[in-house]
Structure 1
Amino acid sequence: MKDWLTRYQSGQRDVVWHELRLLGQAVRDRADEAQAVCDEMARRARHNVDLIVERLTEDGYRFHANNDDQTPTTAHTPPTDRAEDHLAWMLRTFGAVPMTLQSWVRIVGDVWLVGTHPRWPASASADPLVIEVEGSRYGGDHRGYLEEEYAAWQEEQEGLYELPVAPDQLHKENTSGGAPYGIVLPDPCADGLFTWDGGRMPFVSYLNRVFGDGGFPCFTDADGEWEIKHRLAQDLLPL
């Protein structure tokens, strides 16, 4: 049988992810082969992020923080020269990290698509894609924040620990909301569990859902929204 990466690249993505997930932590017995699939996924995701940011910029989209001042911010920060060190810190601090999340940190970087489209003022309400793991926008403060969150969880020990990677939908639109979206840790499996709005799904499944809607997976029923999303999603690569 052909290896996972060859089959993944030939279009058998769903079958490959199914096999990787079925193995659970036993996937580490074939870690190099599984990591190659996760790295290819991340390269495809990086391609999609670059295209979406380029298209939004062409549209005159304003990328900004989720605050009253709508402070301008960077949409995509590729992995910095501190990415590998940050990943090593995560492994020391939280234990096993899913392979897909490791690939994201090393290949994609931090993504923040919150902002306002000139023809779609409610775009920030459509739950734009945000995945910030290295915390490039926050300088040296991000690790401190994560350590504080983890220490608070260790005191309570309620449920599984979820590494915060994004504000929830309401906070993205600068409205008081709920808990942040996250990734369950520790997790030695190939793909991690993404938590959002009280539910969980595989991280790659979440990303495919988001990219299928051009980076904005929720609908606001605004005029022209479908046309904008359709253009943003055109020719994006399935993961």
Structure 2
Amino acid sequence: SNAEIDPESIVGAWLFDETNGKVAKDSSDNSNDGDLVGGAKWVKGKFGNAIELNGKDAWVTVPEIGPLEDFTLMKWFNSTGRVGAWRCFFNRDGWAAGYVHYQFRPDNKMEMAIHSNNPVRHPGWPDSDFTADKSILNKWFHLAVAYSSNDESVRVYFDGELDAEGKWGPLPGEFGPGRIGSWSGGGREWEGMFDEMILFDVALEEDDIQMLMDNGLDATLAVEPADKAATLWGKIKQSR
């Protein structure tokens, strides 16, 4: 039920609804604003606007975020190129214990990796039903990963449907300082668009993920109990 979604569990909400400027505002209370680098630009997206990255010199930098014991990271993505290459969704700078790397691999499979987790890369993912090959280009998809270091569990959802799950842990995940659409080590730039990238400090259930996917964050929070969502909802509306 939607009562599960507490605005205070939102660590960062990059809705990418700006129309100009070089800042991707974080709509949560945490001021994790992103900075546009290189050729990143605002375009029409899935909900309002989106960010478009060129696969070469464009990404969004984010400040220090985490470590988070439990998290859900979701977003809409539209890939327009670089099939068969590393393509980052959201990678912590560097690569050391607890750092999150969330990306497509050269084999076109999704990877959520946390350095020094057991195993580092969850082994269920090569068996994922989703392959980011040429057939998926220029289409919007929703991807969510829900992780609990306490339960040592992980679940992956494509378009709101459970895609893979398994035992994985035990480290909390550190997301920033990092980049949306690139990695500090280079060579993993995203070519395409992102919209509604939202990070929670809880492992959301499937119905919550589906509701956010179907309605977007604004509309989901608008139907929340009034007092709980009022502050964040008012803030999001002001930022438009």
The structure with more strand, counted as a fraction of residues = 2
Q: TM-score, normalised by structure 2?
A: 0.31
Greater relative CO (CA pairs within 8 A, separation 6+)? 2
The structure with more helix, counted as a fraction of residues = 1
- Give the number of the structure whose alpha-carbon radius of gyration is greater: 1
Q: TM-score, normalised by structure 1?
A: 0.31
